[in-house]
Copies of this chain bind each other. A is one copy, B any other.
Amino acid sequence: MESTSQTSLFERLKESLDSLRKSERKVAELVTEDPTFVMESSMSAVAARAGVSEPTVMRFCTGLGFDGFQAFKLALAQALILGVPSVESAMNRGDSVAELASKIFDQTISSIDRSRRFLDPDQMEQAVTAILGSRALVFIGLSASGLIAQDALQKAQLFGIPCSAPSDTHQQFMAAAMTDPETTFVVISNTGRTRSTMRVAEMARSRGATVIGISGDDDTPMMRVCDVKIVAKTFENTDIYTPTVSRLAGLVVIDILSTAVSLRRGEAHFADFEAMKAGLAGYARMSDRETDSGSASFD
């Protein structure tokens, strides 16, 4: 049985590379070099190109915890569609737009998959109950994380309790300084080291508010002062021209939280929601099309 652990196949392969035997390593290298070939080839072909015998390939597969070559190939196929390892997907100047798009989609999907595997359900659960039990919500973030905060605000406004997402640092701090124990703060920072966001978190905490932290890592200064710690881990390449995929993971976390909260608020709230949606439909839609409140979402 393959352990459906947190790490993806390629990561697992990489870290177990030095614990492998010499000839098995050849197989591992072939897999990382040309995974597509391995995926669509037979065991004999793989063995031949790696310069080893077939049982070695077999041992390589079972050694990684798979039932056999076939099972490994399936896992490889799945890992492959979540994006090729970042080595190949580095972007360079000569790339066509189509190539860029392909690489960015690869990175995006595999990053989201990664954040999925790292997301702690317990912390999410705690976050949901905290939100459900509070009388007001405040979302805090800057730049990319600020957008996540704004997005969260848009969704949280449907919860039926006062919520805000001040965008400049002074207003953020003021909100924290004036808060109370019945308010929940959601502080967002991918790095977890944004100074002003940290100060807001500390202040809110000291005022007795519940503080939920969303960050790319669990051991950051900001997270240490949070009651609930939600980790949205991504590949976030340090490369300059790499798009910031962290915000996408953050947005998915917001999706999950808001959906969970909405579901637990029950029918009464549901009716309000419908009314709001119907009103919005008449607002900004074209008149030559039927303004069906159902099929249209928010923009």
Asked if A119 CB lies within 8 Å of chain B CBs, one says yes
A236 partner residues in chain B, CB cutoff 8 A: 297
Chain A contact residues, majority secondary structure:
helix
Asked if A163 CB lies within 8 Å of chain B CBs, one says no
| A240 with B289: CB separation less than 8 A | no
Kindly state the separation between the CA atoms of A281 and B121 in the bound complex, as whole angstroms. 32
Q: Mark A264-297, 1 if CB is under 8 A from B, else 0.
A: 1000001001100100000011101100001111
Measured CB to CB, the closest approach of chain B to A188, in angstroms, equals: 7
Kindly state the separation between the CA atoms of A199 and B116 in the bound complex, as whole angstroms. 40
| A91 with B147: CB separation less than 8 A | no
Instruction: Give this chain's copy count.
Output: 2
Give which listed residue, B100, B119, B221, contacts A286 with CB less than 8 A. Answer: B221
Measured CB to CB, the closest approach of chain B to A163, in angstroms, equals: 15
Kindly state the separation between the CA atoms of A127 and B105 in the bound complex, as whole angstroms. 18
A193 partner residues in chain B, CB cutoff 8 A: 285-286, 289, 296
| B144 with A252: CB separation less than 8 A | no
Kindly state the separation between the CA atoms of A277 and B244 in the bound complex, as whole angstroms. 14
Measured CB to CB, the closest approach of chain B to A191, in angstroms, equals: 5
A248 partner residues in chain B, CB cutoff 8 A: 248, 251-252
Give which listed residue, B100, B102, B121, B243, contacts A98 with CB less than 8 A. Answer: B121
| A142 with B104: CB separation less than 8 A | no
Kindly state the separation between the CA atoms of A96 and B258 in the bound complex, as whole angstroms. 13
A286 partner residues in chain B, CB cutoff 8 A: 193, 195, 198, 221
Measured CB to CB, the closest approach of chain B to A248, in angstroms, equals: 6
Kindly state the separation between the CA atoms of A198 and B288 in the bound complex, as whole angstroms. 13
By beta carbon, the residue of chain B nearest A236 is B297
| B97 with A124: CB separation less than 8 A | yes
Give which listed residue, B71, B95, B243, B252, contacts A258 with CB less than 8 A. Answer: B243
| B299 with A100: CB separation less than 8 A | no
Q: Mark A64-95, 1 if CB is under 8 A from B, else 0.
A: 00000001011001101110000000011101
Kindly state the separation between the CA atoms of A95 and B264 in the bound complex, as whole angstroms. 10
4 residue pairs, one from A and one from B, having the closest CB atoms: A243-B255, A145-B299, A98-B121, A78-B81
Q: A104-B252, A195-B284 are in contact. List 4 more A-B contacts (CB 8 A).
A: A193-B285, A195-B285, A246-B299, A248-B251
Binding site for B on A (CB under 8 A): 39-40, 71, 73-74, 77-78, 80-82, 91-93, 95-98, 100-102, 104-105, 108-109, 112-113, 116, 119, 121, 124-125, 128, 141-147, 150-151, 154, 188-191, 193-196, 198, 221, 236, 238, 240-248, 251-252, 255-256, 258-260, 262-264, 270, 273-274, 277, 284-286, 288-289, 294-299
A-B contact pairs, 7 of them (CB 8 A): A96-B121, A101-B121, A109-B112, A142-B284, A144-B154, A145-B299, A240-B270
